[in-house]
Amino acid sequence: MMNRLSTSELLNLIEQEIPRERILDSLANRYSYSFDASFGEYLPDIIVQATTKEEVSFLLKLANEHQFPVYPRGTATSLSGGSLAVHGGVMLDISQFEKKLIVDQENLLAIVSPSVITSEIHEAAESVGLFYPPDPSSSHVSTIGGNISENSSGPKGLKYGTTKEYVIGLEVVTPTGEIIRTGGKTVKNVTGYDLTRLIVGSEGTLGVITEAIIRLIPKPADRKTLLASFDSVINSGKAITNILASGILPSAMELMDNACIVAVENYMPSGLPTEAAAIIIIEVDGYKVAIQEEIDKCAEVCERFNATSVKVAKNEQERERIWKSRRMVSPAITQLGPTKISEDATVPRSKIPEMMERLGEIREKYKLNLVVFGHAGDGNLHPNILTDIRNVEEMKRVEDAVSEIFEAAIELGGTLSGEHGIGLLKAPYMSLELGENGLLMMKKIKEAWDPKNILNPGKIFPEEGQKKVVLI
């Protein structure tokens, strides 16, 4: 809440350093920055499109002096309400930041500004035979700044890890407006506290990222993909854990339950077995000879656990078809209801079968359209509930179901979020996973960096008395 200054006073102050055309305050603009890919809606008072670190620093210093909140925003694809202006104030749009994307082939790294779209990094790296593995499905839209802030990843997380494995240096404007550098250009760096890792995944609460140095690796020579169907989810889970136990580390292992398979087939027929209880997609990458042996072994394990069919893609076309059916899951399931609540509760992979069972029970208990797919190899499941926000009675049931999903994940030794972040929507459950003291340590860190709670307030930490998610 901007209780100290009126909007016009604030405008005048910001205008001293930032050109008027990059300060937006019309009602249409305010509504245009009031949402992200979750379904929250909060009106910011002003939007500032910063293009340099100096402008960010200026704005944050101003915010500390006059106590108004600032919310960094990339391209707002966050599914957890990460950039929403929950207390009004200034939306800091980073998507228009001066673009810089330098690939340093010799040192296997890239230096990027926060506004660069992730797929642009993929392209730049691949054009010189290198590889930047983190691959969220939103990679053609989301910014690297947003990816770093959310520690994003995708199917390749299993073998290659998440964004944090690749960020080795950052330039950050702290919540009090100082410009600092963390880490550097070396892969090894043990000088003091590892602030780089602290910032990665901090969801815009500890600083605004204005530049990043990211590590690249050589591009794998080849890849092979298979699709296996099962008539029991338990068996598919066992196949997954046994493949990993056999010493193979696939580059991706994706799971779809029956509801997802049926939804995809209804939406865009891809030849998936609609009677299967679950299918898994496995991809291995590396040297040609090695991957042939590995994919054969994966097929063997699937068969040992009673797969009803196992198909290895013979060419790029078949491979693309398999992946297309996986990519179609999200759009296909939205046909089941206009409001899509996408969770990413993650469990240790040995617990996948158990988690699937628990999710089945929750679906029955609350009578909801609940479907499950996800990155099974790393235990990162995406239970999705399809509903209609206008149906108040059902939304209340959804709230309870969501709480139960988180409780189940944590009981099984898992976590609230595998990749979408805590944001606004999961803040109430933080102490469930971390315990009161664990959460307190995190709060102390936030207070040390941001004594006036200027930067992205209302995220990660629950507000007083908040115990569960309130969707409407």
Partner 1 sequence: MKTDEIDKKYSNKLYESAYDAANMCVQCGYCLPVCPTYLTMGNEAQSPRGRINLVKMAAEGKIDILNDLKEPMELCLGCRACEVACPVNVPYSEIYESALNVIAENKKASKSSHTMPDKLLQTMLKNLFPKKKHLRTAGSFLWFYQSSGLSKLTQKTKIMEMVSKPMGQFERALPKVESPNKRYKFGEHYKAVGERKMIVAFFPGCIMDAVMSKINRQSIELLQKCGIEVVIPQNITCCGALHSHQGEVDATKKLAKQNIEAFEELGVTYLINNAGGCGAMLYEYDKLLADEPEWKNRANKFVARSRDITEVLAEIDEIPYEKEWRGVITYQDSCHLRNVQGVIDPPRKLLKSIPGATFVELKNSHLCCASGGIYNLLHFEESMEILDEKMLHVIKTEASTIVTTNPGCLLQMRLGIERSGSKNKMQGLHLMEVIAEACGIN
Which residues sit at the interface with partner 1, rule CB under 8 A?
A: 24, 26-29, 31-33, 35-37, 39, 49, 75-77, 95-96, 117, 138, 140-142, 328, 330-331, 334-335, 338, 340
Which tokens belong to 281?
A: 């997609």
346 lies in the site for ligand FAD, by CB under 6 A: no
| 146 interface partner picked from partner 1, ligand FAD, none, CB below 5 to 8 A per type | ligand FAD
SS3 204: coil
Total residue length of the chain: 472
143 lies in the site for ligand FAD, by CB under 6 A: yes
196 lies in the site for ligand FAD, by CB under 6 A: no
Burial of 54 per CB tally in 10 Å (0-12, 13-18, 19+): middle
**Range list of H helices, 206-247:** 233-245
| 149 interface partner picked from partner 1, ligand FAD, none, CB below 5 to 8 A per type | ligand FAD
Bridge partners for 371 per DSSP: 384
89 lies in the site for ligand FAD, by CB under 6 A: no
Cα 271 versus chain centre, distance? 29
- Please, what is the minimum distance in Å from the beta carbon of residue 280 to ligand FAD? 17
Report how far residue 418's alpha carbon sits from residue 439's, in angstroms, rounded to the nearest whole number: 18
Taking residues 280 to 319 in sequence order and writing x for each that binds ligand FAD by CB under 6 A, - otherwise, the string is: ----------------------------------------
Site for ligand FAD in 105-124 (CB under 6 A): 114
| 176 interface partner picked from ligand FAD, partner 1, none, CB below 5 to 8 A per type | none
Q: Which is nearer to partner 1, 31 or 287 (CB)?
A: 31
Which tokens belong to 283?
A: 């991809």
- Please, what is the minimum distance in Å from the beta carbon of residue 420 to ligand FAD? 5
Residue type, 207: G
Q: Which is nearer to ligand FAD, 142 or 346 (CB)?
A: 142
Using the 8-state DSSP alphabet, how is residue 277 labeled?
A: S
Distances from the Cα of 177 to the Cα of 6, 55, 82, 198, 456, angstroms? 22, 10, 21, 18, 14
Residues whose CB is less than 8 angstroms from the CB of residue 299 and which lie 6 or more positions away in sequence, other chains included: 226, 228, 310, 312
| 337 interface partner picked from partner 1, ligand FAD, none, CB below 5 to 8 A per type | none
Q: 346: how many CB neighbours lie within 10 A of its CB?
A: 24
Buried b (16+ CB within 10 A) or exposed e, 132-158: bbbbbebbebbbbbbbbbbbbbbbbbb
223 lies in the site for ligand FAD, by CB under 6 A: no
36 lies in the site for ligand FAD, by CB under 6 A: yes
Packing angle between helix 233-245 and helix 352-366, nearest 10 degrees?
A: 160
| 55 interface partner picked from ligand FAD, partner 1, none, CB below 5 to 8 A per type | none
Packing angle between helix 7-15 and helix 53-66, nearest 10 degrees?
A: 140
- Please, what is the minimum distance in Å from the beta carbon of residue 143 to partner 1? 11
User: Binding segment for ligand FAD among 152-160, 239-247, 310-318, 391-399 (CB under 6 A)?
Assistant: 152-160
**Range list of H helices, 4-45:** 7-15, 27-32
Q: Which is nearer to ligand FAD, 38 or 229 (CB)?
A: 38
Which tokens belong to 196?
A: 């780089």
- Please, what is the minimum distance in Å from the beta carbon of residue 56 to ligand FAD? 9
User: Binding segment for ligand FAD among 62-70, 145-153, 316-324, 358-366 (CB under 6 A)?
Assistant: 145-153
Residues at the interface with ligand FAD (CB under 6 A): 36-37, 71-79, 82-83, 94, 114, 136-138, 142-143, 145-147, 149-150, 152-154, 203-204, 208-209, 330, 419-421, 456
